[in-house]
Chain A
Amino acid sequence: MNDSELLSQLAQAVISLDQARVEQLAAEALRWIHPAQVIAHGLSRGMQTIGEQFKTGEVFIPEVMVACDCYYAGLQMAKPHLKQQDKDWFIGTMVIGTIHGDIHTVGKDVAVPVFEAAGFQVVDLGVAVPDDRFVQAIREHQPQIVGLGTYMTPTFMHTRETVEAIKRAGLRDQLKIICGGPSVNADAARRMGADDATDNAWDAVEKMKGMLAELNQRQTP
């Protein structure tokens, strides 16, 4: 089997929701193929297909969530092989977490692998994240994008407090803030000081790419 066939089979194993096969193929691929290629052309390609199938109603949330686990299983194997210079393939960095008062992870568990598959380096702070933890992580990782996860409407209504904490720390102007979850709304998010919102991880990728372009344009003299 050549490299291309191996990566195709790896992508197919993600699409088939076969975690054992993903692990087997990832181990084999990592012996011969550059880890960044394994991620980009094997695992991520599988996730991209899952995203397309979700949009067209061929797969649904349960299948997407299992595909995410398959992707993660392969990613965890590939990551230790990446050298610092290999990480150049990341298009941007984001810090993500579910706002304090909410411990649901169903949306974030889908969003993080989708974002990683799209080329974002994601720092996942987990659930019930206090505002000062977001501030601390922004200082540490210098992300271009902060993702605020909220599963319930009341937690979404706390967006303003988190944004204010980031503002008070003097960090707001250097990054974009996007809200995610089933209860979010872009206009309401903007009224609370964030930049955008979406309930769909693949839509979020498009929006975040636009945010990166805007930030890059701002930095260009």
Chain B
Amino acid sequence: MSQIVDDWVKRLKDKLPPIGEMTHWERLAAAFERRPTDLVPVAPQLDYWQITHANYTHQEIYNDVDKTTDACIRTWAELRTDAIWMYIDIGHQIENFIPAEKRAAHFIHRGPKDYLIYKPLAGTLDEAIGLYESRAYERYLEGSRPVTHYTPHMLQLLEFQEKMNRQVPVIVGAATPTNYAETIVEVQHFVKWTITEPKAKVHHYLQLCLDERLAALDFYREFAAKNGCEFFCGFGGARTWGPRQLAEFGEYDRKFIEKAKTIFPHVFWHICGHNLPEAMQLLAEWDGLQAVQYDMPYYSQALSWPEWCESVARLFAGKRCAMNAPTTQACCYETPQQVEKMVSEFIEATLPHTTAVVMPGCEIDSYAPLQNVRTMIDAARKYRGSSKSNRL
């Protein structure tokens, strides 16, 4: 029971005008299942942006669960997107790998609107393996932000979801084995080690990351799924891998998804950055994923935005719901006209082949103007989610 949730439920329950013919939940679930929707769903990942939009600073919410939850619900009540993303930052992911007395020195916060960033936890592959083999993540769990902030925040939002009679789904996200493998040591090191270190050692490290992540999914079963969570995002790593790495080491994330799909009805993948065509192909083939939140074309692909969106939609036809547009960068510093154009082009390129959800490839940046966020939502609301005559 949470006072902040009850206050919001009292203010909002049965008082919000409907948008379209479906509820937010029905709309997102239908798109994931590749069924027609009354409107194209729009579900941007607002995690950092919604904090400052609700007039809090990142430092202010860092240890304050109520303010974090308040920011998420306040922003949703104003914008009425088709999902509420729980707020997630890097402290949630790695603080339990760090002894309590050393945590402060690991995180860097430039200013009130800046992301929390971190220093790597290990400088060599052997050190990283040592962290896992010594089960540091269990030894330092007590008092860490996964326990003190992430979990209670998630539970508050799920409580809101249930008390609002599942009008709007809450998206819970967790990093995948490759994401952890890279985050612990910084991505550029791990990526190089996939070439320079013995393959067996890299596999051993990834297996340790997978074992920890599979155990983490038991936590999600107990605390997320049992409290009503149905929409689960796997924050994939491997975003800068080449085809050789995907072929050699891609299995670990697939195994993570195989287990996630036994827990949640709606599982999707987040792959931000410059997406390799081979990675998109792989995600189109993995069983259990319903949707993919993808981003920009790879450096060597000379494709326009609509061409890129169409190429992914063709790949996903009959297999996956496609989620994108505008780019995080466009939403941050382009004009509203450009934002609207990117959203329209994405929808029009996608709907002939599969369902679409308007959801930039990465989180909305703290510096994104409100007008651009509103334009993105309004642009999505102009389209029916069906393959024919979709413009309203």
Contact = CB atoms under 8 A, between A and B. Distances in A.
A-B pairs, top 8 by smallest CB distance, nearest first, are: A60-B242, A101-B110, A106-B188, A188-B333, A57-B300, A153-B365, A61-B240, A157-B367
Interface in A32-79: 54-57, 59-63, 65-66, 69
A154 B242 contact: no
Given A54-B299, A60-B276, A63-B195, A154 B241 contact: no
A191 B334 CA distance: 11
A69 B196 CA distance: 11
Contacts of A105: 186, 188
Interface of B: 108, 110-111, 113-115, 117, 119, 186-188, 191-192, 194-196, 240-245, 273-274, 276, 298-301, 328-329, 332-334, 365-367
Interface of A: 17, 19, 54-57, 59-63, 65-66, 69, 100-106, 109, 128, 152-155, 157-158, 182-185, 188, 191, 199-200
Contacts of A152: 115, 117
B108 A103 contact: yes
A188 B329 CA distance: 10
B243 A60 contact: yes
A9 B171 CA distance: 54
A103 B117 contact: yes
Which of A103, A154, A155, A158: most chain B Cβ within 10 A? A154
Given A61-B240, A101-B114, A109 B188 contact: yes
Contact of B274 (A19, A62, A182): A182
A153 B367 contact: yes
B300 A154 contact: no
Contacts of A55: 299-300
28 contacts: A17-B196, A19-B196, A54-B299, A56-B300, A57-B300, A57-B301, A60-B242, A60-B244, A61-B242, A62-B195, A62-B240, A62-B245, A100-B110, A101-B111, A101-B117, A103-B119, A105-B188, A106-B186, A106-B191, A153-B329, A154-B114, A154-B366, A154-B367, A155-B110, A155-B114, A182-B273, A188-B333, A199-B274
Nearest to A188: B333
Contacts of B301: 57
Given A62-B195, A103-B117, 16 more contacts: A17-B196, A60-B243, A60-B244, A62-B194, A101-B108, A101-B111, A101-B117, A103-B108, A103-B119, A106-B187, A106-B188, A153-B332, A184-B329, A188-B329, A199-B274, A199-B299
